Amino acid sequence: MGYTDDDLRHAAVLRDLALRDTEVWKLVEALTTEVGARPAGSAADARAASWAVAACRGLGLANVRAESLPLRIWQRGPASAQLVAPSTRPLVMAALGNSVAAPAGGIEAEIAWYPDLAALKADTSDHEKSRANGRIVFIDQKMERARDGRGYGAAVPARAVGAIEAARRGALALAIRSIGTDRDRIAHTGAMQYDLSVPRIPAFAVSVPDADLIARLNARGEPMRLQFTLESRSGVEATTQNVIAEVPGTDLADEIVLLGAHLDSWDLGQGAIDDGAGVAIVTAAAALLQRAGKRPRRTVRVALFANEENGFDGARAYGDRYGNVVHQLVAESDFGAGRVWQFKSRVQPAAQALADSMAQQLAPLGVAAGGYDGSPGPDAGVLMRRHRWPAAQLSQDGTNYFDVHHTENDTLDKIDPATLPQNVACWALLAWLAAQSPLPFGPPAL
Amino acid sequence: MGYTDDDLRHAAVLRDLALRDTEVWKLVEALTTEVGARPAGSAADARAASWAVAACRGLGLANVRAESLPLRIWQRGPASAQLVAPSTRPLVMAALGNSVAAPAGGIEAEIAWYPDLAALKADTSDHEKSRANGRIVFIDQKMERARDGRGYGAAVPARAVGAIEAARRGALALAIRSIGTDRDRIAHTGAMQYDLSVPRIPAFAVSVPDADLIARLNARGEPMRLQFTLESRSGVEATTQNVIAEVPGTDLADEIVLLGAHLDSWDLGQGAIDDGAGVAIVTAAAALLQRAGKRPRRTVRVALFANEENGFDGARAYGDRYGNVVHQLVAESDFGAGRVWQFKSRVQPAAQALADSMAQQLAPLGVAAGGYDGSPGPDAGVLMRRHRWPAAQLSQDGTNYFDVHHTENDTLDKIDPATLPQNVACWALLAWLAAQSPLPFGPPAL
């Protein structure tokens, strides 16, 4: 069983319309200009949800609503860091998300420098013998630039679990080279974890040029001392919201094709590439489906998730609420604004031929067929794994994504307006063909 | 009269040796790593002078000394800015050099937005009628990227005299788009002036993405309010120093070929491209002359000037001290670390044929002959004009120079080590051939 000629003709219409889309730019321009940074649970996050509801309604989408959920949030306070030996040098830094505050007055100690997380892990965990004991651990983990972002997965454990490994060895605090591919004097934040079995120590990232300086001083063999302050609050009760909007289906309207993105952002930039771009792309794709006039068989649902960055509260709340509803597909646009270069699916074997048809429709957009082991993005991935929902992945070119990811530099100017319509075309095709499928896509092999 | 065959053979030797130079990188690596930012009159500035004296002695240069001079300096204090309407948005900012402090608690006012300095100047200077009156003037002056840096000259008056024009119209403060070609969330500082005839108002630059945001909000037509704090001190008594080092001449040892750079930097970065690179280039060129073994006829003098950035105190003190000494040539390396692409001279007409010979020797290094209207750089330019000394210009590729100029981003990683030896070769050739000239180069037409 394959797609009807009618379905494929409409796919071609959508593709051509999408490549002339102007809504996608207007959406991301408005979100970054009128709201900007929108950490989950903040006043700006609430404004972002109101903005999204109004934008979706304005585009003619149906069943538009914000679904509130409670959560506990982490809030950044003032912070600073400097080398105080061998000489005084200010460092550009950012606390990692979830970091506990330093004691009032901050912490000053010698640096124990490690080239990467593996070197720290290889150090003895006997406090008395570890270099880390009583010092500030510095992890100089470097990140490789790659189109598919694989350098992030390789480097990010230094941020995620570095404080656990450092505390296990008696360290007073953790500092890391920013997990990023840029050379800007701007630090990258991001979520980090603690472990109940070891003390919670403050953790922050310094900019890449500052990490370079520390590495050069370390190479000179002189002891380095670091002083820092770091204020933060954890566990603050707040409210956030998933925003939902739909293109209602016809004979299979009870089944959902989910186009995801996340509405929240880190607090430092404008949330442009992460994930204003994704919000704009999936919203514009749904709006295009709506505008093109042919109603899909299944309901196409845009889900703008809450708090992807620091807890996946939105994805979990969505799963709690809609876990019993049939989902034909879940996918998420959350890798910036680069062109889509690859399509991957994760569907039941009988539906793989339909995924192949989708790939054929995407091919004229410069998208390669990438197999059946797709990862649909962070929130959609949570849902795929928890509910065994079928999924798809539209891989964006992430070569430059980690230059500004989780930084003050994540601003509108980092988005090339020319790459957005191709994204809209891919998402409109994906949504349409998933909605028209003569077969259920699930359950997939996980 | 032209150069001897011996002189030209040695020029070729110097060129080949310079292209294998490794000292230049070591110098700039050491200055940025061991000292970093060194605003004139600061403790770091004094450490930079000590470092330079030790470095020049280590390279075998003669008559190495630091010549102290008193000066009054401007010191940056804490500062911050944010939009408070139409919504609260933090701005990345930096006070301009010489800005007076804002009153305690800062200033909050509506923004009067102007697209450029010309638009502000075109506004009425009648207080009661000007939009600027009682507001914070924002000048959105944009800067063009160009190899020869011409965009800087076109844009920089907004920074230099914007506060005068704003105050003349009753403004409470001046904010400008950073004078730079980047799109980083990093503000560019730089010197600004006041005029005795109008009030001194605080002045600062915001980063380019922040200026973009303000422009987008301005386009929406909603009133914008800005709140900022700015602390600073002016007129602080301090001491700085010019550092001098020489390759002594032979029969014309009393005449000076001056290779200049400036030792001070703005306070925000590491002073890598501005002007650690120039310090390293001219020092390495003189060291190469020394190492190559053939003594020049005239004395080749490296002069590392004090406080180029905010007052030219070093250049003026140099002129006061050495104004009566014959200078065969003055030139300065102060445009980053890009390759030299052009040579220009400013010598007496009878010596232009010798300048042409120099251009021929530079040609194999990819340097074009650029005429007789050379500008020798900021400090050397002060001296050329004041003492009517002959001059030369080795134009560097400045395409990317203004991305990081006067910012926290002026760090070692912005220098490509591969472009430095070609610079050393050009400076060594220039010094050698000026020193060997059978004719005086001056006085030039100014």
Q: In this predicted model, what pLDDT tens digit does every residue of A203-239 receive, in sequence order?
A: 999 999 999 999 999 999 989 999 999 999 999 999 9
How big is the A-B interface in CB pairs under 8 Å? 80
Residues of A in contact with B269 (CB under 8 A): 185
- Identify which of A36, A185, A220 has the shortest CB distance to residue B411: A185
Q: What is the pLDDT of residue A383?
A: 98
Residues of B in contact with A269 (CB under 8 A): 185
Interval A434-442 mean pLDDT:
97
> Exposed, middle or buried by CB within 10 Å (0-12, 13-18, 19+), for A47?
middle
Q: Closest residue of B to A272, CA-based?
A: B209
Residues of B in contact with A407 (CB under 8 A): 185
**CB distance B409–A216 less than 8 Å?**
no
Q: How far is CA B380 from the centre of its chain?
A: 11
Residue A415's nearest CA partner among A271, A265, A260 is: A271
- Identify which of B32, B209, B412 has the shortest CB distance to residue A411: B209
Q: Closest residue of A to B35, CA-based?
A: A87
Q: Closest residue of A to B412, CA-based?
A: A209
Give per-residue pLDDT as tens, A149-186.
999 999 999 999 999 999 999 999 999 999 999 999 99
Q: How far is A409 from chain B (nearest CA, A)?
A: 5
Q: What is the pLDDT of residue B128?
A: 82
- Mean pLDDT across chain A, nearest whole number? 97
**CB distance A185–B414 less than 8 Å?**
no
The C-alpha atoms of residue A412 and residue B213 are separated, in whole angstroms, by: 9
**CB distance A408–B35 less than 8 Å?**
no
The C-alpha atoms of residue A330 and residue B379 are separated, in whole angstroms, by: 64
CB B151 within 8 Å of CB B179: no
Q: Does residue A275 have a cis bond before it (omega within 30 degrees)?
A: yes
Mutate to test the interface with A, among B25, B31, B33, B38 (most CBs of A within 10 A): B33
> Exposed, middle or buried by CB within 10 Å (0-12, 13-18, 19+), for B126?
exposed
Q: How far is CA A200 from the centre of its chain?
A: 25
- Identify which of B32, B92, B217 has the shortest CB distance to residue A33: B217
CA contacts within 13 A on the Cβ side of A272: 28
**CB distance B212–A47 less than 8 Å?**
no
**CB distance B213–A270 less than 8 Å?**
yes
Instruction: Report, in angstroms and rounded to the nearest whole number, the Rg of chain B calculated over CA atoms.
Output: 23
The C-alpha atoms of residue B440 and residue B443 are separated, in whole angstroms, by: 8
Q: What is the pLDDT of residue B199?
A: 97
A80-110: burial string, b at 16+ Cβ within 10 Å, e else: ebbbebebebebbbbbbbbbbbbeeebbebe
**CB distance A185–B269 less than 8 Å?**
yes
The C-alpha atoms of residue B310 and residue B316 are separated, in whole angstroms, by: 12
Two tokens, residue B335? 């445009």
The length of chain A is 446
Residues of A in contact with B32 (CB under 8 A): 213
**CB distance B92–A408 less than 8 Å?**
yes
Looking at the DSSP bridge assignments, the partners of residue A258 are A301, A330
Q: Does residue A86 have a cis bond before it (omega within 30 degrees)?
A: yes
Q: What is the pLDDT of residue B282?
A: 98
Phi/psi at A12 (nearest 5 deg)?
Answer: -65, -40
**CB distance A414–B183 less than 8 Å?**
yes
At CA B24, angle to CA B19 and CA B28, rounded to 5? 150
Residue A183's nearest CA partner among A368, A409, A444, A361 is: A409
B347 contacts: CB under 8 Å, gap ≥ 6: B329, B354, B355, B372, B390, B391, B392, B441, B442, B444
- What 8-state DSSP symbol labels residue B41? T
Residues of B in contact with A47 (CB under 8 A): 87
Interval A5-30 mean pLDDT:
98
**CB distance A36–B89 less than 8 Å?**
yes
Q: Quick check: A277 pLDDT over 80?
A: yes
CB A238 within 8 Å of CB A72: yes
Q: How far is B86 from chain A (nearest CA, A)?
A: 8
Q: What is the pLDDT of residue B1?
A: 76
- Identify which of A35, A212, A270 has the shortest CB distance to residue B413: A212
Q: What is the pLDDT of residue B126?
A: 83
Kindly write down the DSSP assignment for every residue of B172-230, as one continuous string: SEEEEE-SSS--SS-----B----TTS----EEEE-HHHHHHHHHHHHHT---EEEEEE
Q: Could you list the beta-strand ranges (E) of A140-292.
A: 173-177, 203-206, 225-247, 252-262
CA contacts within 13 A on the Cβ side of B55: 30
**CB distance B87–A44 less than 8 Å?**
yes
**CB distance B184–A186 less than 8 Å?**
yes
**CB distance B209–A412 less than 8 Å?**
yes
Residues of A in contact with B213 (CB under 8 A): 32-33, 36, 270, 411-412
Instruction: Report, in angstroms and rounded to the nearest whole number, the Rg of chain A calculated over CA atoms.
Output: 23
Q: How far is B214 from chain A (nearest CA, A)?
A: 9
From first to last of its 446 residues, what are the pLDDT tens digits of chain B? 799 999 999 999 999 999 999 999 999 999 999 999 999 999 999 999 999 999 999 999 999 999 999 999 999 999 999 999 999 999 999 999 999 999 999 999 999 999 999 999 999 888 889 999 999 999 999 999 999 999 999 999 999 999 999 999 999 999 999 999 999 999 999 999 999 999 999 999 999 999 999 999 999 998 999 999 999 999 999 999 999 999 999 999 999 999 999 999 999 999 999 999 999 999 999 999 999 999 999 999 999 999 999 999 999 999 999 999 999 999 999 999 999 999 999 999 999 999 999 999 999 999 999 999 999 999 999 999 999 999 999 999 999 999 999 999 999 999 999 999 999 999 999 999 999 999 999 999 87
**CB distance A89–B412 less than 8 Å?**
no
**CB distance A409–B35 less than 8 Å?**
no
**CB distance B87–A186 less than 8 Å?**
no
Mutate to test the interface with B, among A47, A87, A185, A188 (most CBs of B within 10 A): A185
Interval A324-336 mean pLDDT:
98
Q: What is the pLDDT of residue A125?
A: 80
Give per-residue pLDDT as tens, A57-98.
999 999 999 999 999 999 999 999 999 999 999 999 999 999
Q: Closest residue of A to B85, CA-based?
A: A34
Residues of A in contact with B47 (CB under 8 A): 87
Interval A247-269 mean pLDDT:
98
Q: How far is B23 from chain A (nearest CA, A)?
A: 17
Two tokens, residue B258? 């001056």
Q: Closest residue of A to B222, CA-based?
A: A34
Residues of A in contact with B183 (CB under 8 A): 411, 413-414
A293 contacts: CB under 8 Å, gap ≥ 6: none
Two tokens, residue B25? 């990188």
Q: What is the dihedral of CA A375, A381, A387, A393, to 10 degrees?
A: -40
CB A205 within 8 Å of CB A167: no
